[in-house]
Amino acid sequence: MLLARPRIQSDECLVSYLIRVSELNGFKHIGHLLHHGGLAWKNNRIPIHQIFTGEFELMPYLLALGLPKGISQIEKTFHSFRHVVDTPYFHVKYPKVCPDCIEEFGFCKFEWSFLPSLACVKHGKMLVDVHQSTGKRLSWYRQHLNKFDGDSDVIQTPEDIAPPAAIQISQYVDALLRGSNSNAFSPAILHGLELRESLTLIHFITHYQVRLLGDSFTPTAIKNNELTQCYQKVWEMLEDWPNAFYAFLSQYIDKPMSNKGAGGLNKHFRDLYESLHRQEKNNGVARIKVEFDRYIGKYWPSVLESKRITRIQLSSLERNIITKKEVATILCCRIARVDKLVQQNKLTLAVFEGKVHFQRNQVEKFAIDMKSNWTMDEACDALQLTRYRLKQLLDAGIFRALQRPDHLNRDWVIDKLQCQKLLENLHQKARKTHPPVGALSMAGIQRQGYSTVQLVLAMQVGKLEYGRNPDITHPFSCNQFIAFKLV
C-alpha cells in the first residue's frame, strides 16, 4: 500500500498524476510505481502513448495501488472519438509544461499532452520541454513534477511572451477539449470542426509546407519552439484562407520536382491530390480539397500543358501500380499468401523504380474471380452436400475445381457458375408428372448400388427418372431430387 493517495484533478494529465503519486511516495520514477502495482515491463518502462490514447488499461494497476478511481473529464472527451483518428500526430512524445501553473496548481494539465498546445493560455508563456542550459529534453520518468531529471532547481519559466499565433492555437485546442465555443480563437475555415478534423487539416498543410523545403515533418521529434514556427506559418495561412493557400500552391509550379529525381513526385500536385482524395471523408481535409480543386480549375490550364492536367484525375483507387500490402488488403489475405499466388503464376510482379509492385487491375480481377466462386464450405452449404460427397464429385470431374489444396495453397475454389448450370440442367430433366409406383428416395436408390457419382451421371444421361421438390432456401440443393426410378 502507498503512504499518500491523492485524487486526480478534473483537468489533470493522467501521467502527471502518476508522477505526483510517485513523488509523494518516494519512488524514483513512475516506472517503479507501476512495477509496485504489478506492471512487470522490462527496465520498468511504461506505455506512455497507449495510456494517453486509452489503448492501455491502467485502471487495474491504479486499483492494485489503492488509488482512487477516476479519470479527468477532458480525457473522456478525447476517448469519445479516439477510434476515429485520421492523423497519428495527436500526442507529444516528450512532455512540456508551464512552470507557473505547476507552482500554482500542483499538477500538469491534460491539454499540454497535445502537440498543438504550444503555450500556456493563462500565463501567456511558451510551454517548456527543453532545459535552458543543457538542452536536455524533459522526461516522463523524472522524479519530481517541477524539475528536470537529476536537476536540483525547479523548471524555469521563459522570460519572453509567447507569439500571438501560439496562444491562439493553444486557446483553440483548449476550447475544443472543453467543449466550449472555439470559433472566437480560430480562422473561419476551422469553424465547426472537431479536434481530430482540425488536427488533420493543420498537419496535412504543415506536412506539405515542410516537404516543399525538402525536409520531413515529424512533429513528435521536434522541440516545442521549432514546432511553433511550423504551426505559426500554417495558422497565418488559415487566417488568410484561401488566398494564402493559393500562394502556397503556386510554389509547386516553380519546383514541382525535388533533387531526389523520381522520388520528388511526392512533392508534386498529383501526390497532393491523391492524399486529399484518400482522406476526403474527413471534413477538415474536404475543405482543403474544395479550394485545391478550385485552384486547379482556375490556374492550371494556363501554367501546365493540357496533357499533364489529365494526370491529376488519377485517384488512389485508379492507380494501377500498387504495393504488396495493398494487394493483401484487396484480397483480404495475409502478405505471405501474396507470395504464394506469385509462385502459382496467378499474380505477376511489376518492377517500378527498383521496387516490386503489382498491377491493380490484375489483382482486382483475381479478387472478383475468387469472390464470384465458392469455397468448400460455401459449396457444401449451397449444394447441401457433405464435404466427403462433394469431394467425390470434384474428383470425378462432375463439379469443376478452379483451385485445389497443395503445398502452395490450402483453399478450395469451386466453379460456382458450372455447378449452377449443371443443377439447372438436372432441374429441367426432372419429371413433371406424379411419381410412379415403386419410386425410391435418394437414399433408397443409393442402397441399390448407386454411388453419389454414379447417381449424378445416371441422372445426366437419362438412365434414372426423378422428380423435384423445390427448396426456396437452397435453390441448388441436391436434396430436392426425389422419387427415383430406373428407366
Contacts 24+ apart (CB under 8 A), 358-361: 358/321, 358/322, 358/323, 358/324, 358/326, 358/327, 359/320, 359/321, 359/322, 360/319, 360/320, 360/321, 360/322, 360/326, 360/330, 361/320
Per DSSP, what are the bridge partners of residue 12?
A: 109
Residue type for 472, please? I
Q: How far apart are CA 132 and CA 135, in angstroms?
A: 6
> Which residue type sits at 138?
L
Q: Is 145 exposed, middle or buried (0-12, 13-18, 19+ CB in 10 A)?
A: buried
List of the chain residues with pLDDT < 50: 73, 80-81, 83, 257-267, 302-318
Q: What is the pLDDT of residue 241?
A: 92
**What domains are there in the chain, each with its CATH number?**
1-186 (no CATH), 187-317 (no CATH), 320-371 (1.10.10), 376-486 (no CATH)
Question: Residue written as cell 523504380?
Answer: 353
**Cβ distance 221 to 229 under 8 Å?**
no
Q: Residue 128 pairs with which residues in a beta bridge?
A: 97
Query: Which backbone phi and psi does 91 adopt, to 5 degrees?
Result: -105, 155
Residue by residue, DSSP assigns 239-266 as: HTTTHHHHHHHHHHHH-SS-TTGGGGGG
Q: Using one digit for the tens of pLDDT, what is the confidence trace for 111-165?
A: 898 888 999 999 999 999 999 888 899 999 998 998 998 787 889 888 889 999 9
